[in-house]
């Protein structure tokens, strides 16, 4: 569980969300792939 600060109601417990975690993981993997493609292309970006 995670504790989250809510300005209106104070603190509240948040249940973990596996779907959201999986999306963050997939996005991170794709970002690394794109970064490697840019690096391997010789670009200075």
The one-character DSSP state at 22 is H
Tokens for 20? 């959201």
Q: How far, in Å, CA of 40 to CA of 20, rounded?
A: 30
Q: How high does pLDDT run on average in the chain?
A: 84
pTM, rounded to two decimals: 0.56
Q: What is the pLDDT of residue 1?
A: 66
The set of residues, in sequence order, having a beta carbon less than 8 Å from that of 3 and lying 6+ positions away, is: 11, 12, 13, 14
Name the residue with tokens 């809510």: 6
Per-residue pLDDT at 45: 66
Q: Where is pLDDT greater, at 42 or 9?
A: 42
How far from chain centre, in Å, is Cα 8?
26
pLDDT value at residue 44: 75
pLDDT in tens, 8-21: 677 777 788 899 88
Q: Higher confidence at residue 40 or residue 16?
A: 40
């Amino acid at each position: 569980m995670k504790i989250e600060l809510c300005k209106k109601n104070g603190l509240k417990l948040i249940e973990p969300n596996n779907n959201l975690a999986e999306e963050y993981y997939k996005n991170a993997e794709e970002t690394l792939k794109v970064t490697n493609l840019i690096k391997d292309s010789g670009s200075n970006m």
